[in-house]
Homo-oligomer: A and B are copies of this chain.
Amino acid sequence: MSLEGRFDDDAGVVRVGHDARQRYHDSRGYGYPLEGNEIALAPVEAAHLLYRGDLDTVVEKSTGDHLDFQAFVSREPGTDFGVRFLVYADLRERGFYLSPAREPWIDDSLLDAEHERIDFAVFPRGKGPGDGEIEYALRVIGERTDIPATELTNGVLAVVDEESEITYFDVNARDPSGETDTDLPSGVEAALLEDRVVLWEPPIDLYEDAFYGQPLEGREYERPTLQCSLLEAAYLAERGVIDLGFETVVERGREVEGERFDRRLRVYTELREREIVPKTGYKFGADFRTYANVESVSELSHSELLVRVHPDDHVFEPRDLALDVRLAHGVRKTMVFALVGESDGDREMVTGLTDDTDNSDASDATTDIEWWSLERLTP
Contacts and interface: CB of A to CB of B under 8 A. Distances in A.
Interface of A: 70, 73-74, 79-83, 89-90, 93, 142-144, 161-165, 167, 191, 193-196, 198, 200, 213-214, 216-218, 227-232, 256-257, 279-280, 282-286, 318-320, 322-324, 326-327, 330-331
A93 B218 CA distance: 9
B282 A143 contact: yes
Nearest to A192: B74
A144 B256 CA distance: 7
A27 B284 CA distance: 39
A93 B217 contact: yes
A16 to B, nearest CB: 22
A85 to B, nearest CB: 10
A279 B286 CA distance: 27
Contacts of A193: 73-74, 82
B194 A322 contact: no
A128 B96 CA distance: 67
Nearest to A76: B193
A371 to B, nearest CB: 20
A112 to B, nearest CB: 29
A163 B93 contact: no
A165 B286 CA distance: 15
A367 B228 CA distance: 47
Contacts of A256: 144
B200 A163 contact: no
B257 A144 contact: yes
Contacts of A280: 161-163, 165
A229 B93 contact: no
Majority SS at the chain A contact face: mixed
Contacts of A194: 79-83, 142
Contact of A70 (B200, B214, B232, B326): B200
B161 A283 contact: yes
B326 A326 contact: no
A195 B142 contact: yes
A147 to B, nearest CB: 15
B217 A89 contact: yes
Nearest to A92: B217
Contacts of A214: 163-165
* Highest count of chain B CB atoms <10 Å: which of A167, A218, A232, A280: A280
Given A194-B81, A285-B322, A227 B327 contact: no
User: Which one of A79, A284, A286, A327 has the greatest number of beta carbons of chain B within 10 Å?
Assistant: A327
Given A70-B200, A80-B194, A217 B90 contact: yes
Given A195-B142, A196-B164, A217-B89, A323 B73 contact: no
A93 B144 CA distance: 47
A323 B327 contact: yes
Nearest to A320: B285
A267 B254 CA distance: 38
7 contacts: A161-B283, A163-B282, A167-B282, A285-B322, A285-B327, A327-B330, A330-B330
Nearest to A70: B200
Closest 4 CB pairs of A and B: A285-B323, A161-B282, A162-B229, A330-B330
The residue among A163, A165, A228, A331 with the most chain B CB atoms within 10 A of its own CB is: A163
Nearest to A219: B51
Contacts of A257: 144
